[in-house]
A and B are shown apart, each in its own frame.
Chain A
Amino acid sequence: MAEIRYIDAINQAHHEEMAQDARVLVLGEDVGRKGGVFGATMGLVEKFGEDRVIDTPLAESSIAGVAIGMACNGLLPIAEFQFADFIHPAFNQIVSEAARMRYRSNGVYGCPVVFRAPYGGSHGTALYHSQSIEAFYAHVPGLKVVAPSTPYDAKGMLKAAIRDPDPVLFLEHKRMYRIVRGEVPDGDYTVPIGPAVVRRPGRDLSLFAYGWMLSESLAAAEEMAREGIEVEVVDIRTLAPLDTATILKSVAKTNRALIVYEDNQFLGYGAEIAARIAEEAFFDLDAPVMRLAGPDVPGIPFAKPLEEWFSISRGKIAASIRKLAAY
């Protein structure tokens, strides 16, 4: 088993799925000759040709809409949005069309599209290259939303998403692409969409996160262990449908819950996790459910001091852990 980067895991999944199933194809801006702005589709056009690796016009709504049509006629398209910030023109196609196709046709038309989008803040990504968009889409019945946190999951869940008979929004936190490494088997495997997983067991409090926030949370948990606070870190992985059982089980064990997400706090994805815990684990709680999330401003500002002010670092997570543990 080789240790590879998150971006390489995504790339491998593309290569393997396209090689083993002629129905799989990729469309998006710069996915061909350039191999994607982050390199996720590197080497595909050389191997599979321009008909299956389509450099599209710069028009996101039709990237989604054309993919939906392809999916209705026997193909398994992967539609890449260059940045999650630019997926908004496709909102109507994803929400009104892809997510509703099966329900509105009473089960006769499916829509097996994977919508891939790099999300979240990295260095200097500013207001329009850093957005977290998961809450908009996780709200929509009929759409699966995933945000894998390790290279192993990235490859396995992307393969699962491609083979899924329903639409999946596949979110890749762009900060992870080149700095998160992990062991990934060369051959075929899938990681099921649905189950959350406990990444680090602990007795003192439960921390729920996904994507880059999971990495930062694990780092913070290590630091806390040195201070004698044992944090249980749960990787949500699949945001919709949500694995509530794993969350409740962890809260029943630790009696404290901290949810960490990078999106704006107000009505962000963590609000749903908090609500589930409040509704279904109220008597397990020794402290109020706590959220650590992005400030409610429109995105991560560009200038370094402003970016640092916004960013959810391991230091901020550690501070929240201390506060909740002391409650």
Chain B
Amino acid sequence: MVSAEANTTVEARHRALGLSDQDVLEMYYYIALARGLDDRMWVLQRAGKAMFVISGPGHEGCQVAAMWPMDKKQDWFVPFYRSVAACLVKGMTVTDMLLGLFARATDPSSGGRQMPGHYGHPRFKILSTSSPVGTQYPHAVGIAYASKLRRTGEITMVSIGEGGTSQGDWHEALNFAAIHKCPVLLIVENNELAISVPLRKQMAVPSVAVRAAGYGMPGVTADGSDVLECYRVAKEAYDRARRGEGPTLIEYRVPRLGSHSSDDQQERYRSREELEQVRKRDPLLTFRAYLERVGLLNESTLKDIAERIRRDIDTATDEADRAPLPQPDTARRHLFFEE
């Protein structure tokens, strides 16, 4: 009896947010897919099949949740290098992402010109990513301004880590977005580490979200391990943007489960205890536990999902691996527009 009551209470959570059972199952699928892809990319790098990996284990829950209210076709996404899960939800395939990892000619993000993790895809309105941190924020605001001026109804979402919020571009973008009430969701995925620099050395304020007040926009913080809460705040911000009320700063507090990149060894600056603690906040595990609690997943369905993901990633790996490398005679192309 007690447990049945508990189920009703938790079950009400996703339904109360307007999410169907199908929605939350798909959200779980994307979180698990992104993690599966992430694991595969690291294996491929360690095996010498890829030069470099930078990805977002621990960030998947908030990324999938934030992307969920977005219109996948119409809206814009301006990613950063940890946006693996967000790009998958927006429409990129596992193959698309692995083509980038292998620097293949058919890599839709850059044709093998950029390091892995620099996503972009015109068909899904994912803007091309660069490596300097923070530059993407003004771009997102400019895109949103254009949407408003052209009355397209598009909403833009942009993501960054908390380290990037120290850049001037980040502050300039917030200021501009608020002045012009641009329809943009300003996401900060705060994992409390900028490579190795801890949050307390990045800012004197306790949270990024409080900065929003200085620009005249709402700022909210959500626990990145609570996928439904992540969705709730994103949906609210999305609706606000659609109503023409302007930008919202959303801070997701997320665990960084892995090293900064394949060139980093986090064990050099994070204790074993810290790593153990952070693993308890893994959104894949917390969301799975929720879905099991409400009876939407069980051992057998989880096994099916894992099997499907493994199979899809295997197929995509082979497909991307077989794709041709770019040739030097193409390296001068696309400096400027070609008729």
Contact = CB atoms under 8 A, between A and B. Distances in A.
Interface of A: 25, 51-52, 54, 56-57, 59, 61-62, 64-75, 77, 89, 92-93, 96-97, 100-110, 141-142, 144, 165-166
B172 A75 contact: no
A92 B118 contact: no
A56 B138 contact: no
A101 B145 contact: no
A237 to B, nearest CB: 17
Contact of B114 (A69, A92, A104): A104
A100 B130 contact: yes
B173 interface: yes
B33 to A, nearest CB: 25
A109 B120 contact: yes
A109 B127 contact: yes
16 contacts: A54-B180, A56-B176, A62-B169, A62-B176, A65-B138, A66-B176, A68-B139, A70-B146, A72-B127, A93-B138, A97-B135, A104-B110, A106-B107, A106-B334, A141-B335, A165-B336
A96 B135 contact: yes
B76 interface: yes
Contacts of B130: 96-97, 100, 104
Contacts of B338: 107
Interface in B113-137: 113-114, 118, 120, 122, 127-128, 130-132, 135, 137
A4 B140 CA distance: 40
B168 interface: yes
Contact of B138 (A25, A68, A141, A165): A68
Interface in B26-41: none
Given A61-B172, A93-B135, A70 B142 contact: yes
Given A56-B176, A59-B168, A71-B142, 14 more contacts: A62-B138, A65-B135, A65-B139, A66-B139, A66-B145, A69-B140, A97-B139, A102-B335, A104-B113, A104-B128, A105-B122, A106-B107, A106-B110, A108-B108
Contacts of B179: 57
Contact of B337 (A25, A65, A110, A141): A110
Interface residues of B, number: 46
B147 interface: yes
B134 to A, nearest CB: 9
Contact of A74 (B140, B150, B169): B150
Contact of B111 (A52, A66, A70, A106): A106
Contact of B142 (A51, A67, A100, A142): A67
A110 B113 CA distance: 16
Interface string B264-303: 0000000000000000000000000000000000000000
B97 interface: no
Contacts of B107: 106
Interface in B298-339: 333-338
A30 to B, nearest CB: 16
Contact of A102 (B118, B144, B336): B336
Given A65-B169, A102-B337, A109 B142 contact: no
Given A70-B146, A96-B135, A142 B128 contact: no
A69 B138 contact: yes
Which 8 A-B pairs give the minimum distances between C-beta atoms? A69-B142, A65-B138, A106-B111, A62-B172, A107-B334, A73-B146, A69-B139, A165-B337
Given A93-B135, A141-B335, A165-B337, A105 B146 contact: no
Contacts of B144: 69
